[in-house]
Amino acid sequence: MLVAVLSVKGSPGVTTFSVALAARWPSPSRALLVEADPSGGDVGTRFSLESAPGLVSLAVAARRSDDPALLWQHAQALPGGLPVVAAPPDADRARAALSALADPTTGAGVLRTAAGAPESVVIVDCGRIDAGSPAMPIVRSADAMVLLTRAHADDLAHLARRLPAIGRWTAHPAMLLVGEGYSTAEVARELGVLPLGRVPDDPHGAAVLCGRPSTLRWGRSGPAHSALGQVAHKVAKVLIAEQAPPPALPRQAPADNQPMSMLRAVPGVPTLAVSANGFRLAPAPLPPNTETTSRGGQAS
């Protein structure tokens, strides 16, 4: 399974949540984290990793080999044993490595191949992304996508118009709110998309997942006992459930060019008020120079 984690505005903690998701992925699957942030990586610096192996060495090796184990050969272990392919902190080098991996003639399928191995899951931290990002081919090939966003007015306003396109990047998109702000119900009502959940403000859990001193210690006990780790574990189980094959149904002709349903239905909104792509329809505007009639009166 290949899972892309990303944001489209700001820095809502994509890398920290990616580490939590990989660290708390349910057994028996083997999880590996790939840092594919075009702006440069943070994991190597946070955990004092060697400069190689990593994303750059992987991009070079992918030109010569399609070995399913290649991705694991270019990973280093975090203190808890989680394997990670770290990106260089320099943005130019990170983008060059990602561009090489996105080139179909030089082994673009290395992540897809590793994710397709039995009992394997590859979590990819794609950072903040847009349509021109060199990480976009990874997002489009992912089995699931987790979009992180803060729940403040400016973040949601930026996101609203982009949601129809974002929802079509992968077959299984999900949205997570981060920290305080508008409630899940308010976000669902305004965006027409039901968030999968909310990532809590958890300084101690975030610290251990970022390699900083904390009252928690790394290992399964640290992330497992943190609020952040518990949410990541629940998200992983939802993503796994969505990949399960559906019950057998009578064979039907394929429907071409059908819009993909966005994330979830909108709670509390009548079905007829929701468009085919999952968005709440805006009410029709009143004709100009028209006033609502009062009881027993007439419009002027």
Note the pLDDT of residue 211.
78
Note the pLDDT of residue 9.
86
Q: What is the pLDDT of residues 35-69, one digit of tens each?
A: 999 999 999 999 999 999 999 999 999 888 778 78
Note the pLDDT of residue 206.
83
Note the pLDDT of residue 216.
55
Is the pLDDT at 159 greater than 60, yes or no?
yes
Q: In total, how many domains does the chain have?
A: 1
Q: What is the pLDDT of residues 100-134, one digit of tens each?
A: 887 655 445 889 889 988 899 999 999 999 888 99
- CATH number of 153's domain: 3.40.50.300
pLDDT higher at 202 or 104 = 202
Note the pLDDT of residue 202.
81
Provide the b/e sequence for 49-79 (b: ≥16 CB within 10 Å).
beeebbbbebbebbeeeeeeebbbebbbebe
Whether 185 is covered by a domain: the verdict is: yes
Q: How much is the average pLDDT of 237-262?
A: 61
- Contact between residue 148 and residue 176 where contact means Cβ atoms under 8 Å apart: yes
Is the pLDDT at 288 greater than 70, yes or no?
no
Whether 73 is covered by a domain: the verdict is: yes
Note the pLDDT of residue 222.
54
Phi, psi angle pair for 67, to nearest 5°: -60, 125
- Contact between residue 218 and residue 46 where contact means Cβ atoms under 8 Å apart: no
pLDDT class of 252 with cuts at 50, 70, 90:
low
Whether 210 is covered by a domain: the verdict is: yes
How does DSSP classify residue 271? G
Sign of the dihedral through C-alpha 113, 116, 122, 123: positive
CA distance 280 to 125: 30
pLDDT higher at 135 or 257 = 135
Tell me which of 110-124, 234-248, 261-275 is least confident: 261-275
Mean pLDDT over all residues of the chain? Answer: 80
Whether 10 is covered by a domain: the verdict is: yes
Task: Tell me how far CA of residue 19 lies from CA of 92, 144, 177, 189, 191, in angstroms.
Answer: 23, 16, 17, 30, 28
Q: How much is the average pLDDT of 173-195?
A: 90
Is the pLDDT at 4 greater than 90, yes or no?
yes
Six-digit token string for 50: 């060697």
pLDDT class of 214 with cuts at 50, 70, 90:
low
Note the pLDDT of residue 262.
42
CA distance 123 to 31: 7
Identify the domain containing residue 50 by its residue range. Answer: 2-243
Whether 85 is covered by a domain: the verdict is: yes
Whether 49 is covered by a domain: the verdict is: yes
Q: How much is the average pLDDT of 69-88?
A: 92
Note the pLDDT of residue 293.
40
Tell me which of 20-34, 130-144, 147-161, 253-267 is least confident: 253-267
Q: How much is the average pLDDT of 174-199?
A: 90
Note the pLDDT of residue 79.
83
Whether 257 is covered by a domain: the verdict is: no
Note the pLDDT of residue 2.
94
Note the pLDDT of residue 294.
40
Whether 271 is covered by a domain: the verdict is: no
Tell me which of 171-175, 184-188, 197-201, 295-299 is least confident: 295-299
